[in-house]
Chains A and B, each alone.
Chain A
Amino acid sequence: MALSATIDATASPMTLTVVSDARHVEVEVRTGGETIAATGARPVFVVDADREWTLVDDDGATAVYTAP
């Protein structure tokens, strides 16, 4: 797994970019003769005591947040 987080504090608003290759989750469920695939994305938890970061874009691998 690889997880990175970078902040551009000079941008206005500031941006936080989170990149992870571990968010995609896919499981295959079989019962009787039937099979279904279920997909999802692990959530990103952002904790900052000084300000609130707002998600503005997320393609499932790269999530972009902004803060004033």
Chain B
Amino acid sequence: MSRVTVTVGGETVTVDYTRPAAAALPLLGMSAPAELWDTRKAQVEATGGRLQARRIFFKSLTVNPTTMIRAARAEGLLPVVSFKLGSHSWGQVAAGAADAELTTLAGRCRAASPERVVVILHHEPDQQSTPPDVGEGGTAADFAAMYRRAVPILKAAGNVAVWTCMNGWWWTNQARKLTDAQINVWLPPDVRGMLDGISADFYTDQGETETSVMKARNMAAWARRVGGVKVLGVGEFNGFRPTDLTDLTDFVQTDPLYRGGWALVWNSTRTTYKPLDETGLLDDFQEILRTWPA
């Protein structure tokens, strides 16, 4: 408890306050194909750094994540687990068609680890429709309704933190960026309030027309404008130059909205993006990881 005393003229007031403990820095983690996880983990940790989180992908709610969650926890890593919805549309999930699957999933997460498990439903949902209100599983409103239905079921497990992972280009400075009103259909205030955090995937393109840090900054500014966002995260990041990595990791260390979240490097092939040892960025990520605060 601290106390501040304010005096003006002959009048004095005192205010007692407690400075909240600073939230932890974001966890620094990685995704990689399951069969290459051990190799790539060993590569990035070769100079002494230690990963703190692992992104895991599944295509259906019915896939049992127990083995992967336990494997991550056995390595001391926060599991950040993304599920696509199999054959379900977002509207079907919103209508209750996947309630039993979600209940089973919540129970599996609980049984796999008493510690926190992050669950994301349908990452990068927007398929760049025009206007940007339709995705793989339905409309933006369906997406929001899906989360309204699923969050209470998943959180009943007690250890499940429910996040979203949105399309990073929503927060570009280019013309294709989404307006606050457009994002609000995907993530309306009540859904933002239910979520434990909101993340997005941020890549810097070859020509640097969009940098990952620019989009991360814009997402933080958006979160502050619209309110109701507890924590931000970076589900994937990668690029072509050392600064494509360091600019982002420096930023998320300093912006308070990213504290308590995580930033997960994409160490796989994806369109033009390559694993770190193929783009010459392995040394750079090793150094980021080696110097990342525990």
Q: Which residues of A contact B (CB under 8 A)?
A: 1, 3-7, 9-10, 12, 14, 16, 18, 20, 22-23, 42-51, 53
Contact = CB atoms under 8 A, between A and B. Distances in A.
Given A14-B17, A16-B4, A23-B8, 7 more contacts: A7-B17, A23-B9, A45-B6, A47-B4, A47-B5, A47-B6, A48-B2
Nearest to A6: B15
Interface of B: 2-9, 11-15, 17-20, 256
B2 A18 contact: no
Contacts of A4: 13
A42 B4 contact: no
Nearest to A45: B7
B11 A22 contact: yes
B8 A3 contact: yes
Contacts of A9: 17-20
Contacts of B8: 3, 18, 20, 22-23, 42-45
A51 B19 CA distance: 11
B11 A3 contact: yes
A22 B19 CA distance: 29
A43 B252 CA distance: 39
A16 B13 CA distance: 12
Nearest to A8: B17
A7 B6 CA distance: 12
22 contacts: A1-B9, A3-B13, A4-B13, A5-B4, A6-B15, A7-B4, A9-B19, A9-B20, A12-B256, A14-B19, A16-B15, A18-B8, A22-B11, A43-B8, A44-B7, A44-B8, A46-B4, A46-B5, A47-B5, A48-B5, A50-B19, A51-B2
A14 B15 CA distance: 13
Nearest to B12: A3
Interface centre among B6, B9, B256 (most CB of A within 10 A): B6
A1 B4 contact: no
Nearest to B259: A12
Given A9-B17, A14-B19, A44 B6 contact: yes
